[in-house]
Amino acid sequence: VRLATPSATEAHTFAARSGGPVGDPDDELRLAAQDAHQLVGDWRAASVAVTMSGRGALLSHGGTPLMV
């Protein structure tokens, strides 16, 4: 998989299923970054872009994420 594009809710659900970090639900950006990092490894994806509604998307390659 080159790029997976889950919503923030989907990303958190999938990351939690595999034992990913719980994170702070009040810090949406940090939670999305943690979930994306977890999913890059779990899904063996080149990158994960967590869509965040009107805030855009968070793109992770497993390292430092970018907001787009």
Contact 25, 16 (CB under 8 A): no
**pLDDT digits over 23-60, tens only?**
777 789 999 999 999 999 999 999 999 999 999 999 99
Buried b (16+ CB within 10 A) or exposed e, 2-20: eebebebeebbebbeeeeb
What local confidence, expressed as pLDDT, does residue 13 receive? Answer: 94
At 61, the pLDDT band (50, 70, 90 cuts) reads very high
Say which amino acid occupies 61. Answer: H
**Angstrom distance (rounded) from CA 30 to CA 23:** 8
How many domains is the chain partitioned into structurally? 1
Which residue range(s) make up the domain with 59?
3-67
Helix 28-43 and helix 8-17: axis angle, to 10°? Answer: 60
